[in-house]
Amino acid sequence: MNEEHTRTLLDAAPLLYRRYGKGKPDNPFSCWGFLCGDGWFDLLMRLSARMEAELQTALASGRRKQDLPQVSEIKEKFGLLRFYVNRQPVHWGDWIEEVKRESEKTCELCGRPGRLHLGIGVKTLCEACAKHDGWQPAETRRPDAVSTNLSGEAYNVFVNTRPLLLLNPRSPAVEIAVPPEYLPAVECMVDRMVAALKQLVEAGQSVDELPIFRRIWLDHGYLNIEIEPDSFLNLPQETQDEFDAALADASGV
């Protein structure tokens, strides 16, 4: 995001973006700001305005500033806009999802109608921007199959053979909602993640500090995994990188 757009967003939502520039290692946004192209500026402005309005109301009604939600990370991933908030109110999840769906058809560079392209990775681009930078249109993503949870028995086998998935005492049951043909890729991905966690535990990390897995599911034709953001960001950087790599490999990116 260029400087002018960054400044406009920060001015429009000073509470939401209050960690900007603070350089806290546990908060990627505070270090890196808006990690996406300027084509998504309008989407971000709309989302920021909605969130900021609620934050201002909460502050005016006496809530303490330090208890209010704040952005922890904003980035592009698999051609989609990802937006993470600490202490996120549940209904914000719908707003974030709405904007993510729009980013899927909006050129990340210029904001014109776009679609998924392949180059160095994947990106959502319009025809002109893709041509300029040598990206090729990707096949249209398959619409997500109606994802159902694994059957009880398959679920038990999956989780019981990977206890580190749920070892954190704060972890609820992880939801696994992928069509059966994706299961081998999911197993491979999770095994890599579990191996990385095992190293941490063997090196003395408390199980309380392991990530809290919430859900593994198919998102726009890609595997995705939802981990409670703070619990992920507390992991050492190399473990976070291994998680990202395992996810990218499982998704065939």
* CA–CA separation, 115 and 121 (whole Å): 14
Query: Residue 110 Cβ, how far from Zn ion at the closest point, in Å?
Result: 3
Q: 149-159 burial, b if ≥16 CB within 10 A, otherwise e?
A: ebeeeeeeebb
Query: Which of 71, 126, 165, 223 is close enough to bind Zn ion by CB under 5 A?
Result: 126
Looking at the Cβ atoms of 134 and 204, the one nearer to Zn ion is: 134
Q: Does position 45 bind Zn ion by CB under 5 A?
A: no
Token digits of residue 38: 């300027």
Looking at the Cβ atoms of 41 and 217, the one nearer to Zn ion is: 41
Query: Residue 92 Cβ, how far from Zn ion at the closest point, in Å?
Result: 28
Query: Residue 118 Cβ, how far from Zn ion at the closest point, in Å?
Result: 16
Give the HSE-up count for residue 65: Cα atoms under 13 Å, Cβ half-sphere.
6
Looking at the Cβ atoms of 65 and 105, the one nearer to Zn ion is: 105
* CA–CA separation, 231 and 208 (whole Å): 9
Q: Which residues within the stretch 56-115 sit at the binding site for Zn ion (CB under 5 A)? A: 107, 109-110, 112
Query: Which of 80, 85, 129, 193 is close enough to bind Zn ion by CB under 5 A?
Result: 129
Query: Residue 128 Cβ, how far from Zn ion at the closest point, in Å?
Result: 6
Where along the sequence are the contacts to Zn ion (CB under 5 A)?
107, 109-110, 112, 126, 129
